[in-house]
Structure formats: structure tokens, C-alpha cells
Structure 1
Amino acid sequence: MENFLGIDVGGTGIKVGLVSKSGDVLSHLKIDTDSLRQGGDFIHNFVDNLEGILADHPDVDRIGMGVPGTLSKDRRTLLELPAIPEFNGVSLGDLLQARFPNKQFRIENDANAAALGEYHFSDRKMPENFIFVTLGTGVGGAAIINRKIFSGGDGNGMEIGHILSRGRKLENNIGKAGMMELALETLRGYQGATDVNEHRMNSHELIRAATQKDGFALEVFDKIAELLGEAMVSTIRILDIKNVYIGGGLSVCFDYIISNMIKTMSKYLTPYYLEDLHINRARLGNEAGVVGAAALCFEESLVHV
């Protein structure tokens, strides 16, 4: 059975996995993104590392790659990757094809890839149309419409993290840094008891406290839920899709945001939307990026709408 390489390119780490066609991760490794900056030639180091990985897997012919940013419509050139500016304007598809002429590469936005992975490999039956949100360092978004990736007019639709949210970008409010800013602001005005310490506060600490019913942590997640719920109202109204899946590293907070998220959405959506509204946590977890990147290798997955 053919296996694929899935590469999830991130600002802090690059995850690589050997993935079977059934979605099993057979092996994996992680490369520190900053380590590729040594010597001042990020692109050269990236390609050299990939060469070594491919040498370890000579039977792999197809490689999928998810990247955190915008791409050209033909998916050959990386346009804007704020977390890895060294990639901006690089025709990575052409570069890789020239260096490895016997391999096939598919490059896609990382949230799109993760949504595709969820569609193909979730342990539950997925709808043909759904919105996918990733919560992590930033906030990513994707939509699967009629089983295909929705990419918008020029290839970069569904940048949910960059829609306006109370005068700022949504990811500035509820991305990892925004979450901490919101938590510190909430803590300064919080009157109740909490065992969350301002000086050791991070997303893991907030989630730990929420599991213990800490009132402060639950208040922070209520605020996050309200902001995300507001963003979903706009997205659902535009796309007319009522199935929403939440993934990414911070989706572990799902149980603490779902109630207020639905409450917020119920204020602004009519019964037409609410009657069939389903919001679920994505199932692939930390492997979503790698598995989703591998799913790009399926020929039927390459068509965009």
C-alpha cells in the first residue's frame, strides 16, 4: 500500500510524518524552525533537510505540505507567511520539483490541509460541507464545500483569523498571545478567588484551572467563546454552512467555550441557522497538520471551489 509524507510547516516547528492511505501516522519527526535559520540561508537548509528525509523514505513518491499563510492560486508560490518571512515570494513548488524531479509535491494553506485531513480521516462520518477553525498561535480557517476545499476568488479565502473583531483582528483577540492578554486584563479586575498566578500564566495553566472549576479561568474562556461565537455568526451567514469543527492545539479548551459560544450565536442567528447548527471538536488533534498534508496527495482532493 502506498504511503505519503505529510509536512506541517509551522513558525516554531516543522512536523513530518509518514502517513498511510488510511490516515495512520507510521513515523514522525519534528524540526525546530529556528534551527533552519542558522547560517542565514533558511531556504537552502529547508531543502537540504527535506532531501535527507526523502532519502530515508525512498519509496515515497508524493509529498503534501501545509504552510501557515497565503499562496498563489496555482499553489506554486508562497506569498505571505508572517511566521516564516523567509518563504515570502518563494516559488517553492518549482524549487522542489527542480530539486526532486521524480517526486510530486502538493502545497496548501495549513488550515485547509487540516480540514481536508479531518474530512478524510475523522473517526466519524463528516458532512460534505463544513467550516473548520484552528485555534493555536494564531486562528486559522477553512471550509469544505461539496467535499472540496473552498479557496475563494484568488486562492486565499477563509482567513478567519484576520476578520475584524471589536476593532482588532480575531487572532489578536483569541490567538495564543491574545488569550494571554485577555486573561491578564480579566485577572486585574477579577474579585473572586483563583489559584492562577499572573507570573506563571499560560494556556495550559488556564485549561488546568478550568478543569478544576476555577471561576477566573472559566470567565476567561467565556470571553473567548463570545469573541469566537461572534466571528462564527458572520462566517455562517456568508457561507450558509451550519456544521463547524474546531481544531488546533488550543481546541483542548473546547468544553469550556462551547456553551457560551452557542449562547452568543443564538443572539444573532435566526432559527433557519440554529435548527441545524452543529459545533464539534475536531478529532485528529495534534496529528491534524501532518495527516491533512498527506491527504493533499489524494488526487480527488486537489480540486478547489
Structure 2
Amino acid sequence: MERYLGIDVGGNHVKTGIVDKDGEIQDFKSFETAELRKNGRFVENLLDRIVYRLINHKGINKIGIGLPGTITKDRSTPIEITAIPEINGVKLQEAFQKRFPDMDIFLENDANAAALGELHFAKKTIPGTYGFITLGTGIGSAAVIDRRIFTGGDGNGLELGHIPSRNDKTLEQNIGKQGIINLIGQRLDEYSGPTLISREEPISATKTVLAANSGDEFARKVFFEVGEILGEGLVSFVRIMDIKTIIIGGGLSAAYQFIEPGIKKQLQYYLTPYYLKAIDIRLASLGNDAGLLGAASLCFD
């Protein structure tokens, strides 16, 4: 069976693994991004690691790479990778091609790659057209239309996290990881009732999820508000893209049962029956493997 090398580049870690067409990951290895960035030689250090990764996998002839930011329309060069700015403008595909001249190299935005991974590896059947949203440190988004990634006019369309949102902020500033922590702190200052959330310890989104699971009214209200904010963004997404299936992934999806009511409230208020009769919001199925499987799935197209 043909196998591929998937590389999921993140701000904290770069995950690599050998993936077959059934989505089985073999020889998984994660590297700290900070370690690879030493001496400003991220690309060279990564290439050195990959050479060693492939010594025992002679049959690999395709490499897929997911990047956390914008890339050129021809999918060859990073433009703005906030977490690793030193690779902006570096001809990454060419650098890999020089080191691995017999291989095909594919680059893509990480959210786009993860969306494509759902298409190929989801545990449940999904339609050929859907939106994909990741809720985590940032807000990632993508769309698959007729089984193809939508890239927009110049290759970097559908950055939902950067659309205007409440409080003169972007959606990501409001409900990315830090935005949610800020929201919890603000609402905690305003709240006088009992809560499991400590006012003496640093605020944690994870602890707030645990509190919501334990029935904490304050925690559930916060996530309802998060759902409202996300719902407003999804209304824009649905109206502009005319896509009615939305798949939600990322770390915050663990709180989805508490976020969902706020989403539904906004969808019911703003959308017409044309959309509402077909709207389908579901959780992603690939979990922590989404980025790596998505990167490998770039080799399929």
C-alpha cells in the first residue's frame, strides 16, 4: 500500500508520521518548534530531521506539509507564518525538492489540510461540500466544495478568525484561546454567585470546561456566550459560502455541548428557512491527528 510522509507544522511542535491511505499513522515523531528554530535555521534543521525519518521508509515518494498561515497561490512559499516568521518568503517547496529530488512536495495552510483530512479519513460519511472550523489557540477555517479545497482569489481565502466580531475585535481575538481566557476573567469579575472557577488561581479554559461538565452555572454561561460569538461568525460563513454542513474541531470542541446552544440561537435568529432546513453542524472525527492526517492527505490530490 502506498504511504506518505505528513508534516504538521505548529507553533509549539512539528508532528511527523508515515500515513497510508487508510489513515493509519506509523513511526510518529514530534519535534519542538523552538528547538528547530535555533540559530534561525528552521528549514535546514527540519530537513535534517526528515532525512533521518526517511532512512527506514524507502518507499515514500510524496511529502505533505501543513503550515499555520498564508502561502503563495502556487503553494510553494510561506507568506505570513506568525509562529515562525523567519520562514516568510523562503521557497520551502524548492528547499524540500532540492533535498528530496525524487519526491513530490505539497504545501497547504494547516486548516485547509485538516479539512481535507476529514474528507479522506473521517470515521463517518461526510458530504463533498462542507465548512471546517478549528477552535483552539486561534480560529482556523476552511471549505471543501465538491471535494476540493476552496482557496479564494489569491490562495488564502476564508480566514474566518480574522473577520470583525464583537467589542471591536476579530473573531479570533474574542474566542481564540486567549480571548476565551479574557472573557472568563471579565465575566468572573462581574459574577457574584457561587462557581467552581477559582478567583485566586490563573484562569484556565480547560478548568472552565471541567466546571461546565460538573454543572457549574457560571462556566456554562460563559460557553453559551462563546457559542453566540461563534454563531455570528458562522452566519457570515453560511451566508457568503452557501455551505450548510459545518464540521468543528480543535481543542475547544471538548466544550461543544455547552457552546452549541449559543450557536443555534444565532443561527435561528439570522438564517432563513432555506438554510435552517438543511443546516448540519457536527464535530470533527480525527482529534489530535487531524493536522498530521490532513498534511498526508495533500498527497492524494
TM-score, shorter chain, exceeding 0.5: yes
Give the aligned partner of residue 156 of structure 1.
156
Q: Distance in 1 between matches of 2:208 and 2:169?
A: 23
Q: Distance in 2 between matches of 1:94 and 1:12?
A: 24
Give the aligned partner of residue 209 of structure 1.
211
Q: Of 271, 280, 284, which residue of structure 1 is paired with 2:273?
A: 271
Runs (4 or more) in structure 1 with deviation over 3 Å come to none
Task: Note if contact 1:225-1:260 (Cα within 8 Å) is conserved in structure 2.
Answer: yes
Give the aligned partner of residue 195 of structure 2.
194
Task: Note if contact 2:64-2:107 (Cα within 8 Å) is conserved in structure 1.
Answer: yes
The alpha carbon displacement at 1:193 in A equals 0.7
Task: Note if contact 2:135-2:248 (Cα within 8 Å) is conserved in structure 1.
Answer: yes
- Cα RMSD, aligned residues only: 1.1
Task: Note if contact 2:40-2:86 (Cα within 8 Å) is conserved in structure 1.
Answer: no
Task: Note if contact 2:135-2:252 (Cα within 8 Å) is conserved in structure 1.
Answer: yes
After superposition, where does 1:52-201 map in structure 2 within 5 Å? 52-166=52-166, 167-198=168-199, 199-201=201-203
Q: Which amino acid aligns with 2:112?
A: N
Q: Which amino acid aligns with 2:25?
A: V
Q: Distance in 2 between matches of 1:230 and 1:165?
A: 8
Q: Distance in 2 between matches of 1:230 and 1:13?
A: 31
Q: Which amino acid aligns with 2:196?
A: D
For these two proteins, the number of residue pairs brought into alignment is 299
Q: Distance in 2 between matches of 1:47 and 1:27?
A: 17
Task: Note if contact 2:43-2:92 (Cα within 8 Å) is conserved in structure 1.
Answer: no
1:251 and 2:259 correspond: no
Q: Distance in 2 between matches of 1:75 and 1:123?
A: 28
Q: Distance in 2 between matches of 1:203 and 1:33?
A: 23
Q: Distance in 2 between matches of 1:115 and 1:87?
A: 24
The alpha carbon displacement at 1:141 in A equals 0.4
Task: Note if contact 1:192-1:215 (Cα within 8 Å) is conserved in structure 2.
Answer: no
Residue segments in structure 2 that go unaligned for 5+ positions in a row: none
Q: Distance in 2 between matches of 1:217 and 1:40?
A: 42
Give the aligned partner of residue 239 of structure 1.
241
Q: Distance in 1 between matches of 2:119 and 2:25?
A: 16
Give the aligned partner of residue 20 of structure 2.
20
Q: Distance in 2 between matches of 1:26 and 1:170?
A: 36
The alpha carbon displacement at 1:61 in A equals 1.2
Q: Deviations over 1:134-169 (max 9, x none)?
A: 111100100000110000011011111111112211
Give the aligned partner of residue 292 of structure 1.
294
Question: What secondary structure, in the 3-state scheme, does the structure 1 residue paired with 2:188 have?
Answer: helix
TM-score when normalising by structure 2: 0.97
Question: What secondary structure, in the 3-state scheme, does the structure 2 residue paired with 1:7 have?
Answer: strand
The alpha carbon displacement at 1:37 in A equals 2.1
221-230 or 161-170: bigger deviation: 161-170
Residue segments in structure 1 that go unaligned for 5+ positions in a row: none
The alpha carbon displacement at 1:210 in A equals 1.0
The alpha carbon displacement at 1:86 in A equals 1.5
Question: What secondary structure, in the 3-state scheme, does the structure 1 residue paired with 2:195 have?
Answer: coil
Task: Note if contact 1:43-1:86 (Cα within 8 Å) is conserved in structure 2.
Answer: no
